[in-house]
Amino acid sequence: MPIQIVYVTAALMAASLFPMPGQFTGFLNVMVFGTFAWGAYRNFEPFGPQTFLAVVYAAFAIAFNPISPVIIPELILKVLTVAGAVLLLVTGKKFIR
């Protein structure tokens, strides 16, 4: 996955903190789910050094799952959104190894 997609996803997550139409939320969930699912796939090595990062990516993918959404209170969702954007910015290089 190109690193630009990771950074665009982080930027869209930051933009979602402002009021947006409902279609944006659906698009964002698909994009965030795909990005974190890909990150979990790329970093999973049984008993490897990146396994914890893969589990964290998988947890974020489940939280932003567009197929069967998880009901999360709005404040916690905002915190998860900020944490996910920061995580993508900090660990973005792990997607292209």
- What is the pLDDT averaged over residues 22-50? 89
pLDDT tens digits for range 48-63? 777 889 999 999 999 9
What span, in angstroms and rounded, lies between the C-alpha atoms of 26 and 42?
24
Supply 80's token pair: 């998860």
DSSP letters, 47-67, are TSTTHHHHHHHHHHHHHT-SS
pLDDT band (50, 70, 90) for residue 97: low
Q: List, for residues 4-25, the tens digit of each pLDDT value.
A: 999 999 999 999 999 988 899 8
Q: Rounded mean pLDDT of the chain?
A: 90
